[in-house]
Structure 1
């Protein structure tokens, strides 16, 4: 985690930067996947949201994820279900932050990999629940919603695998960059 007051100008700027990166991580790189429920696609927004929580902490990281992912949904035809996306990222942020706290903020390669895999697995669960809610919102029966949501998971599974792989790689690269920048400004 970056070490500064979460209300400082630096924290606000970093939160805004991560928000923009999350939005762009979805907007620029998006591959639609056919599904029975919703309009899922492969993207890097989840990976970047996890990184935001790891670097900015629960409050600012969740805020960046909620605004980045939720804002994308609102501005790109998913407004009716954007609240589900925001709820999902809040849950994932709380879990990631809790795991990091349980690990006493030790960001070893092993621990960051565990967090990335846990976040990816949790995203599969939350996305499945979100798909069920989306199906129910349009009048699908509960049984049909469960089945259709299950068959709509391929994009989520790909995104989750991507998160599990990319978070550790990007975390340590960004950590090195932030340290270099921090030394220049000290």
Structure 2
């Protein structure tokens, strides 16, 4: 399951930019807003595509693609004040997913990809909770109110996490051979 081929040079830049663009488009094209007490969350495919980028490109390049795609979206769409939290979430996701990839060593079993997707979804729920908590505190909310409001703001994240569990294995097995063949 580890990245089979190290992407270097211009290919690394190209694939990272390609995934960043795909992530940006994935979050821009389909946005379903969900009412929340903290922030303006919405359902989108950006998180799923970020996990896919981490699986295909590896932790470092996948994190860069996710940070550019998700962070860039935030900067350009009214979320600039909290875009640093999005980038931090991407870095944490890259560390967790990369750790899971290394744990499963060198195998591409469907079950392992599903497990990684589930762990990625759970990680997203926790990072979004803490991101919402920090956002609420930045707005001047008391700590107790921020804890409750952050918890009540999780429905969009839970839906995004469930979609990650479904979408990542499907796209991973559809895309990985194409990407690895072009790298060889």
Q: TM-score, normalised by structure 2?
A: 0.95
SS of structure 1 residue aligned to 2:93: helix
Using CA pairs below 8 Å that are at least 6 residues apart, which structure has the higher relative contact order?
2
Deviation at 1:2, TM superposition (A): 5.1
Is structure 2 residue 82 aligned with structure 1 residue 59?
no
> In structure 2, what is the Cα distance between the partners aligned to 1:60 and 1:151?
33
Q: Which residue of 1 aligns with 2:5?
A: 3
RMSD: 1.3
Shift of residue 12 of structure 1?
1.0
Distance in 1 separating the partners of 2:149 and 2:74:
21
Contiguous gaps of at least 5 residues in structure 2: none
SS in 2 for 1:37: coil
Worse-matched range after superposition: 78-87 or 97-106: 97-106
CA contact (8 A) 1:124 1:160 kept: yes
Cα contact 1:2–1:56 (8 A) shared by 2: no
Instruction: Verify: 1:33 aligned to 2:40, yes or no.
Output: no
Give 1:10 shift: 1.1
Question: Structure 1 stretch 138-147 or stretch 167-176: which is displaced more?
Answer: 167-176
**Structure 1 residue 4 displacement after superposition:** 3.3
- Larger displacement relative to structure 2 (102-111 or 87-96): 102-111
Q: Which runs of 4+ in 1 moved over 4 A?
A: none
**Normalising by the residue count of structure 1, what TM-score does the alignment of the two structures yield?**
0.94
User: Equivalent residue for 1:175?
Assistant: 176
What is the CA–CA distance in structure 2 between the aligned matches of 1:47 and 1:136, rounded to whole Å?
28
Which residue in 2 is equivalent to 1:166?
Answer: 167
The worse-fitting range, judged by mean Cα deviation, of 150-159 and 103-112 is 103-112
Mapping for residues 14-53 of structure 1, pairs under 5 Å: 14-53=15-54
